[in-house]
Amino acid sequence: MSKKEDKKIQNPEEEEIQSLQQKEQAKEESSGQQLLNSLLTEGEDEDQQIKGWKDLTKVLSIDGQWFRRQIWVILIIVLGIIVYITNRYQAQSEIILEENLRDSLKDMKFRSLTRSSELTLKCRQSKLEEQLRANGDSSLAPSTEAPFYIYRNK
């Protein structure tokens, strides 16, 4: 084989490689051009208003299949929100009940202390003696001696 025949045989391979490289360069240039166009037209998209559900799904590129696939996730999220709200409501009602019970307990303690002090005042020995003298009952007299003596050992 001659050199020309070798070149002809290698030429188809080289030509394929060159054509692939040219195609890749063209793709890069076109993608760069597309990026530039999208950046230039980006401000124009902001002026458009979304008027309905269909426009929203087009913008978000959501179709009916997406909702069908994600229905269980959406239901779990909704269920979680419902459980959270009911649990919070129940916890708040328990806190309010606990505060009311605590306040009523304080009130009952104060009433008990008041009744106890009133009873102590009415049952005091001096008060009883005054009541007996006022009624004219003189058979009872106060003791002059102490009931017992306490001795201290030294």
Can you give the pLDDT at residue 122? 79
Q: How many residues does the chain have?
A: 154
**Rounded distance between C-alpha atoms, residue 52 and residue 50, angstroms:** 6
Segments of the chain scoring below 50 in pLDDT: 1, 5-8
Interior/surface letters 77-102, b for 16+ CB within 10 angstroms, e for the rest: eeeeeeeeeeeeeeeeeeeeeeeeee
pLDDT digits (tens, 9 = 90+) for 36-52: 666 556 555 555 566 67
Rounded to two decimals, what is the model's pTM? 0.40
Q: Report residue 91 as tokens.
A: 């916890």
Is 132 buried (19+), middle (13-18) or exposed (0-12) by CB count in 10 A?
A: middle
